[in-house]
A and B are shown apart, each in its own frame.
Chain A
Amino acid sequence: MLAFLTRRTIGAVITLLIIAAATFFLFFAVPADPARLACGKVCPPELLEQARRNLGLDAPVWEQFVAWLAGLVVGRDYEGLGHCPAPCLGYSFVNREPVLETILDRLPLTLSLTFGAAVFFLLFGVGAGVVAALRRGRPLDKIASVASLIGASVQIYFVGTLAMYFLVYQWQILDRPQYIPLTEDPIGWAYGLLLPWLVLSLIFTANYTRITRSTMVEQLSEDFVRTATAKGLPRRTVVTRFALRGTLIPVVTIFGVDLGSLIGGAIITETTFGLQGIGRLALRAVTDSDLPMLMATVLLAAAAIVVFSIIVDILYAVIDPRVRLS
């Protein structure tokens, strides 16, 4: 287990380094000049030079990259802004705010959005899949398969926009989505995010229902499930402790992917629902050529995906003792 974690962590660090470097160098390959943006509309050459120096853009690109990395590991000193302790993500080119603070400020929203929705679509999806498998061929099964077909064929910005339009503006059943910290007001937190949760669930549930149903049907005809029945265990135990166990493996697989893509793809969700999370930060970082912010958001998304894939592998071993972590 320890060897596995070490190996995967090293792999993850290398992956993230490559992504960071690629992002960094690509940034400079694009003709937008952040110094010119910072300098303003009418910008005499000396001021431009000054702005460039202020942002640290006067050094060679690879030197800047090394400095950025060093900041992450040991901290970094900024002229006029003082010391930025590790892990230092730098200061925004746009408003000179420390990037880490901004990220930490917005992260709870994105995490609430993602994990809240995940709870919904896991429960709905797996639940509906199990019921459909147990009532194979009966009305409930058919309803579930139609519903999952609809869910699978729609997109966030489409359903999300429709839902916003009708539920919020036309019929005024719900308020506009907003973020209230969980610690401040749990009910307000849930109510404020209910609409995006439901919309995300509608889209993601389908996949879980389909996968759960088909795997569950297979598992129910496994010999060891029949043995469990032959031992006199009640139907419920047979389903939850035996048949469901193997069903969790594919569910966990897609769950890892979905969580990563929800955090990585937070731009779409947050834009659709007008929420100010990491996704919006990333979007603004691109339009503003805000390098430190861009690096931070890209890295965060990449880290989420990498970490979830490690967690998924660990979960495999937890679910199925035949899986060896190595």
Chain B
Amino acid sequence: MTTATWTTEPPVRRGPGSFLAVRDLTVEFTTEDGVVRAVDGLSFDLEKGTTLGIVGESGSGKSVTSLSILGLHDPSTTTITGEIWLEDQELVSADRAVMERLRGNRVAMVFQDPLTALSPYHTVGRQIAETYRRHKGGSKREARERAIEMLKRVGIPQPHLRVDDYPHHFSGGMRQRAMIAMALVCDPDLLIADEPTTALDVTVQAQILDLLKELQQQTGMAVILITHDLGVVANTASEVLVMYAGRAVERGTVREVLREPRHPYTWGLLGSMPSLRSPVDVPLRPVRGTPPSLLAPPPGCPFHPRCDYVDVAGRELCTRERPVLTPETGHADACHLAPEDKRRLAPERRTDRKERA
């Protein structure tokens, strides 16, 4: 291609049309033991103003997915393929300058443990103000005012005093509030919250989730909420993506997935919840067996070593052929069971819970 072509006809690419569209995302880490495929052909969409809950056991690739969106993986050990579209911007191939302008500005992140995720060396106010100045400019004074305003918004008492405190002066819940203030200081379009309540006390967890929900309603941003807990999803998300071994095994609206779960793994997750009425969780260890090795995942359906329905769907099929997520849109699952079997075998008690969804 000549220079002339470039200048007259800039190569415009258009995304698939959703606000956020992840297409066939695969993330591999090169380790001493071999290549770990932590995310394998993941696709999903997200619209503004909605919340996508990503659930799955530990190690299913939830964090790796979210870090990929912000481009936070170490490029020297990570291979990422596929596409991540944020409106018209593709992020996997974007260069560093583009990503730096995007991070903290259009896309922000709240991490699991606010104690380690906030810098112990800088005041809370400075950490918030710094993000603001980086992206919106303005004087130190203005940024500080903005930081105080944000602290107030996330419910920190006496924000004009607490702004000069260090994170170790804050309680766990307040730290997470500060973290959220920092994430929202530039009014992002997309907020990724990676298990934002796991490190907190049970009573504080609900407060933080309520805060996130409220802030989303105020700002209309899109939210990805990563959690172990389907109870949290039921209360806060509009859509769910269930992940297993780096793949999406079920996807749909909260209503669909909680009312008519189709994948045996989702059944297992739901079965572990004592009651959907309580928003706070017991840790998920629902399904028998352990998550598969990502170095050498089982052939066919990655869930088959732990699945109780292999013989119903056909052992040959489950151990040889990898089920794909179908249909392409709407409520979808990746399981070889026949549709009527999925309906028939879904644990009975699911139905009396639809009210919550």
User: Do residues A223 and B117 form an inter-chain contact, with CB atoms below 8 A?
Assistant: yes
- List B residues 5-35 near A (Cβ within 8 Å): none
B249 within 8 A of A: no
A28 within 8 A of B: no
> Which of B103, B116, B130, B131 makes the CB contact (< 8 A) with A223?
B116
- A228 to B111, alpha carbons, bound, how many Å? 12
B101 within 8 A of A: yes
* Contact status of A230 and B134, CB under 8 A, knowing A246-B121, A322-B166: no
User: Do residues A234 and B100 form an inter-chain contact, with CB atoms below 8 A?
Assistant: yes
- List A residues 220-236 near B (Cβ within 8 Å): 222-224, 226-235
> Which of B103, B108, B130, B135 makes the CB contact (< 8 A) with A229?
B103
A93 within 8 A of B: no
**B residues within 8 A CB of A53?**
none
B261 within 8 A of A: no
User: Do residues A231 and B116 form an inter-chain contact, with CB atoms below 8 A?
Assistant: no
B71 to chain A, nearest CB (A): 9
User: Do residues B121 and A242 form an inter-chain contact, with CB atoms below 8 A?
Assistant: yes
**B residues within 8 A CB of A232?**
100-105, 131, 134-135
> Which of B96, B100, B116 makes the CB contact (< 8 A) with A224?
B116
User: Do residues A231 and B182 form an inter-chain contact, with CB atoms below 8 A?
Assistant: yes
Chain B, Cβ-Cβ closest to A225: B119
Interface size in chain B (residues, C-beta < 8 A): 26
B33 to chain A, nearest CB (A): 17
A319 within 8 A of B: yes
**A residues within 8 A CB of B345?**
none
- List B residues 57-114 near A (Cβ within 8 Å): 70, 72, 96, 100-105, 108-109, 111, 113
A31 within 8 A of B: no
A45 within 8 A of B: no
User: Do residues B118 and A224 form an inter-chain contact, with CB atoms below 8 A?
Assistant: yes
B320 within 8 A of A: no
**A residues within 8 A CB of B285?**
none
**B residues within 8 A CB of A229?**
72, 103
- A235 to B134, alpha carbons, bound, how many Å? 13
Q: Which of B104, B108, B113, B135 has the most CB of A within 10 A?
A: B104
User: Do residues A231 and B117 form an inter-chain contact, with CB atoms below 8 A?
Assistant: no
B120 within 8 A of A: yes
**A residues within 8 A CB of B130?**
231, 233
A320 within 8 A of B: yes
Could you tell me the dominant secondary structure of chain A's interface residues?
A: helix
**A residues within 8 A CB of B182?**
231
Q: Mark A236-251, 1 if CB is under 8 A from B, else 0.
A: 0000001001100000
B169 to chain A, nearest CB (A): 9
> Which of B96, B121, B135 makes the CB contact (< 8 A) with A321?
B121
**A residues within 8 A CB of B104?**
230-233
**B residues within 8 A CB of A242?**
119, 121
User: Do residues B119 and A228 form an inter-chain contact, with CB atoms below 8 A?
Assistant: yes
Q: Which of A231, A319, A322 has the most CB of B within 10 A?
A: A231
**B residues within 8 A CB of A233?**
100, 104, 130-131, 134
> Which of B101, B118, B168 makes the CB contact (< 8 A) with A227?
B118
**A residues within 8 A CB of B117?**
223-224, 226-227
**A residues within 8 A CB of B108?**
230-231
A128 to chain B, nearest CB (A): 20
- List B residues 244-278 near A (Cβ within 8 Å): none
Q: Which of B72, B116, B121, B130 has the most CB of A within 10 A?
A: B121
Chain A, Cβ-Cβ closest to B97: A234
A213 to chain B, nearest CB (A): 16
**A residues within 8 A CB of B168?**
321-322
- A320 to B131, alpha carbons, bound, how many Å? 21
> Which of A223, A231, A319 makes the CB contact (< 8 A) with B121?
A319
Q: Which of A227, A229, A242, A246 has the most CB of B within 10 A?
A: A227
* Contact status of A320 and B121, CB under 8 A, knowing A222-B116, A232-B131: yes
B-binding residues in A (CB < 8 A): 222-224, 226-235, 242, 245-246, 319-322
Closest 6 CB pairs of A and B: A232-B104, A232-B103, A231-B104, A223-B116, A224-B119, A231-B131
* Subset of 13 A-B contacts with CB under 8 Å: A226-B72, A226-B111, A229-B72, A230-B109, A231-B130, A231-B134, A232-B131, A232-B135, A233-B100, A234-B100, A242-B119, A321-B121, A321-B168
